Amino acid sequence: MAQATYHFPRGFLWGTATAAYQVEGGNTNSTWYAWEEQPGRILNGDRAGLACDWWNGRWREDLRRAADTGQNAHRFSIEWSRIQPAPDRWEEEALDRYLEMLRYMEELGLMPMVTLHHFSDPLWLKDKGGWVSPTVVGYFDAFVKRVVDTLKDYVSLWCTINEPNVFAVMAFMDGVFPPGEKSLSRFYRVCLNLVRAHTAAYRTIHAIQPEARVGLAINYRSMVPARPWFPPDRWITQLQSGVFNDLFPLAAKDGWVRLPLLRRRVPEAKGTQDYIGINYYTRDQVKFSPLRPGEIFSRRFFREDAILSHTGFIANEPEGMWDALKWANRFNLPILVSENGVEDPEDRLRPRYLAEHLHQVWRAANFNWPVKGYFHWTLVDNFEWERGWSQRFGLWELDVETQGRRKRPSADFFAEICRENGISAEMLARYAPEAFEKIFPN
């Protein structure tokens, strides 16, 4: 057996990622709470309920688990609906709870990466026009200012908006996130407002905290033409990837919003990212299909021989991680893998998935690409939006009824990786033997 270790750069960030609505529980003032009240919106009629009970304090034990298993960072989000429960009211007690979390993270040696918008809005924002109305930019900016003013002594790494590409598509094209619209024109307006909101937040954060690092987390979906020899497949793949993957980071780079049949200049957006965050999960084959106008004249699917996750939601495609990193490197910015993981309640695929994807991250770092950290999705099973409790991404299993936690073997595997700052052949032989020959070939 080969005896070797792939080491990551010194100072590499190792952590897990969470999102407020998915772990806190008991949030009745969010658009997602109202969404759950509508029949048929969440798979199996699931409710977030207590989620992981973080709002009642169980963040303390979960963050302790993260630190005890070698992690040195944690990505989490601030819930707008808790901080500003009404347009004219701020909740200082909620801010104090986040301050308490941050102080505890400092005590544990966990560097925070804080996300300011992760899919969830306060209920009152809908009455103001939501993300379709340009007034959202000012409302979001006021929230950002209040949060950063309060938390700046403990946070210097900020993500303004998590996956604006996913949020816009799911809420205003597919209709499976609130407000559940299916309108191309409103989708376009929302994309422009998301760019402007990110821009305003970026400027505000730097005005308060000049040394801050501020960026976006983009869900990068690797896409390849199903028939590379067929020009329409290549064309539709390029179109879809351009809209989904490129729109927001390119706007933050050069100030141009590029949508099909629309180019809009937002000059103030130029140069508003200090790093680029990648959330990568899987890769699609894309085939041109003229009879599918509602799906942008295409059909997307996984390879026939792909290894699929528990519900078939994710295909194990580690080469897509390489695509994502190669794509990110063209922005000439530090790169953070801000999410990566797989739903796997039995923890059978996760060790292999983790090893093979981290090997691609190591390859990029070994090319001297500026990859600075990796945040695994997620620490403990949580409420997965419209998919409810049907998918389990956690290194720790959650019993939703009792709130009990049980460590999965992948938690130990990830702990060894974090402590070693690398992946060794011996680790793979114990935790992910299926990946051994691929990562350590003879």
* 203-217 confidence digits (pLDDT tens): 999 999 999 999 999
pLDDT on residue 98:
98
Q: What is the mean pLDDT of residues 63-74?
A: 98
Cβ-Cβ contacts under 8 Å for 247 (sequence gap 6 or more): 165, 191, 257, 258, 259
Write out the E strands in 261-320.
262-265, 275-288, 298-301
Q: Check whether 292 has a pLDDT greater than 90.
A: no
* 153-164 confidence digits (pLDDT tens): 999 999 999 999
Element (H, E) at 428: helix 425-431
pLDDT level of residue 298 (50, 70, 90 thresholds):
confident
Residue burial 37-65, b: 16+ Cβ < 10 Å; e: rest? eeeebbeeebbbebbbbbbeebbeebbeb
Q: What is the mean pLDDT of residues 67-87?
A: 98
pLDDT on residue 2:
66
Q: Check whether 413 has a pLDDT greater than 80.
A: yes
Domain residue ranges in the chain: 5-439
CATH architecture of structural domain 5-439: Alpha-Beta Barrel (3.20)
What is the DSSP secondary structure assignment for residue 146, as one 8-state letter?
H
pLDDT on residue 237:
95
Asked whether 251 and 195 are in contact (CB, 8 A), the reply is yes
pLDDT on residue 1:
63
What does the alpha-carbon distance between residue 431 and residue 434 come to, in Å, rounded to a whole number?
Answer: 9
Angle of helix 164-172 versus helix 247-254 axis, rounded to 10 = 130
CA dihedral sign of residues 172, 177, 178, 182: positive
Write out the E strands in 70-180.
73-77, 111-115, 157-162
Asked whether 132 and 193 are in contact (CB, 8 A), the reply is yes
User: In 3-state terms, what secondary structure has residue 417?
Assistant: helix
Q: What is the mean pLDDT of residues 19-44?
A: 98
Asked whether 22 and 42 are in contact (CB, 8 A), the reply is no
* 104-152 confidence digits (pLDDT tens): 999 999 999 999 999 999 999 999 999 999 999 999 999 999 999 999 9
pLDDT on residue 421:
98
pLDDT on residue 329:
98
**Which among 20, 19, 59, 65 is positioned nearest to 395, based on CA atoms?**
65
Q: What is the mean pLDDT of residues 433-441?
A: 95
Q: What is the mean pLDDT of the chain?
A: 97
**Which among 17, 105, 13, 74 is positioned nearest to 334, based on CA atoms?**
13
Q: Percent of the chain at pLDDT above 90?
A: 96
With a threshold of 0.95, does the pTM exceed it? yes
What does the alpha-carbon distance between residue 50 and residue 25 come to, in Å, rounded to a whole number?
Answer: 4
